[in-house]
């Protein structure tokens, strides 16, 4: 997860019913026709996805892992057919629709996603979890084209004396472990007492309880907390980051198929529609 500069645009969503997929054991990598250069699909023992030409861990289903909750990107929603909602969820639903696949969403820890552990264990076909594309992560994962521009931000209680990152010396600052927000705080919040949490849910509870004095993380997430009242974003940080959808290393066929769907979404206005649902300032 990372930070943000509001990006570009989205597509209409018809949610598919979700059948949660159990973790599969590692299997033999499928071999691409006539290729010996690592350009194969990289998916294991899945079923063909019909016209899309990709192979998934469960026949006819695109299984997506996400660290939930992290609104507005992913959150639980018992009223929806999938059981989830959010910007990332709508993006992958549109991709699944375009590939003529059902969508299954599974909650997973962010560490397991950004390290490649969940994908390598065939728990899912791709990870959609507000994950910034970094060189370190690219060593363990393949990424789609960027689908969201990101900024970091600093959230504090209303009335706080903290007005910028320069005021964090000796202050307890909450960050999420394994994120670019944590890395940014470590590099730029001089003298801060950085406290790591497994997810945003624990971070927000900590600042509400006065256990930390500020949160440094993705701007849209902190803006969501600001809307709830009692907190304010006092500073934002442009970090030239982009979110990407992560896939198992070497799963070339799926990466290409996902990129094709993202391009179509931008061309036909679907991306703009989804984006405006969550980030429109009007």
* DSSP code for 210: T
Task: Give CA separation, 27 vs 46, 51, 250, in Å.
Answer: 10, 24, 14
Kind and range of the H or E run holding 76: strand 75-76
- For the chain, 282 residues long, give each residue's pLDDT as a single digit of tens: 443 333 333 333 333 333 333 333 333 333 333 333 333 334 444 455 455 678 999 999 999 999 999 999 999 999 988 899 999 999 999 999 999 999 999 999 999 999 999 999 999 999 999 999 999 999 999 999 999 998 999 999 999 999 999 999 999 999 999 899 999 999 999 999 999 999 999 999 999 999 999 999 999 999 999 998 999 999 999 988 899 999 999 999 999 999 999 999 999 999 999 999 998 655
Q: DSSP of 218-282, one letter per residue?
A: EHHHHHHHHHHSSEEEEEEEEEEEEE--EEETT-HHHHHHHHHHHHHHHHHTHHHHHHHHHH---
Peptide bond into 69 cis (omega under 30): yes
Kind and range of the H or E run holding 63: strand 61-66
Q: Are 101 and 49 a contacting pair, CB within 8 Å? A: yes
Domains, the chain, in order of start with CATH, read 47-147+244-279 (3.40.190.10), 151-241 (3.40.190.10)
Our CA angle for 231, 234, 240, nearest 5°, is: 120
Burial class (CB in 10 A: 0-12, 13-18, 19+), 201: middle
* DSSP code for 204: H
44: β partners: 29
What pTM value is reported for the model?
0.71
């Amino acid at each position: 997860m990372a930070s943000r500069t509001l990006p570009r645009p989205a597509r209409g969503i018809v949610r598919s019913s979700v059948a949660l997929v159990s973790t599969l054991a590692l299997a033999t990598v499928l071999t691409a026709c006539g290729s010996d250069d690592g350009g194969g699909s990289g998916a294991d023992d899945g079923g063909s996805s019909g016209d899309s030409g990709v192979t998934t861990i469960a026949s006819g289903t695109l299984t997506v892992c996400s660290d939930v909750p992290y609104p507005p990107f992913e959150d639980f929603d018992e009223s929806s057919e999938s059981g989830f909602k959010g910007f990332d969820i709508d993006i992958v639903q549109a991709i699944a629709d375009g590939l003529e696949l059902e969508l299954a969403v599974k909650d997973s820890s962010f560490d397991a996603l950004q390290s490649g552990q969940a994908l390598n264990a065939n728990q899912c076909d791709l990870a959609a979890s507000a994950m910034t594309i970094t060189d370190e992560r690219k060593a363990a994962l393949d990424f789609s084209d960027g689908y969201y521009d990101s900024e970091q931000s600093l959230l504090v209680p209303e009335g706080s004396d903290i007005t910028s990152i320069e005021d964090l010396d000796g202050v307890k600052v909450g960050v999420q472990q394994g994120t670019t927000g944590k890395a940014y705080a470590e590099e730029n919040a001089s003298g801060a007492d950085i406290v790591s949490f497994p997810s945003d849910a624990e971070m927000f509870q900590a600042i509400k309880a006065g256990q930390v004095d500020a949160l440094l993380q993705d701007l849209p997430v902190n803006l969501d907390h600001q809307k709830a009242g009692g907190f304010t974003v006092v500073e934002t940080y442009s970090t030239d980051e982009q979110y990407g959808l992560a896939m198992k290393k070497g799963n070339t066929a799926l990466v290409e198929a996902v990129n094709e769907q993202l391009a179509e979404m931008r061309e036909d206005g679907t991306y703009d529609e989804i984006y405006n649902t969550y980030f429109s300032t009007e």
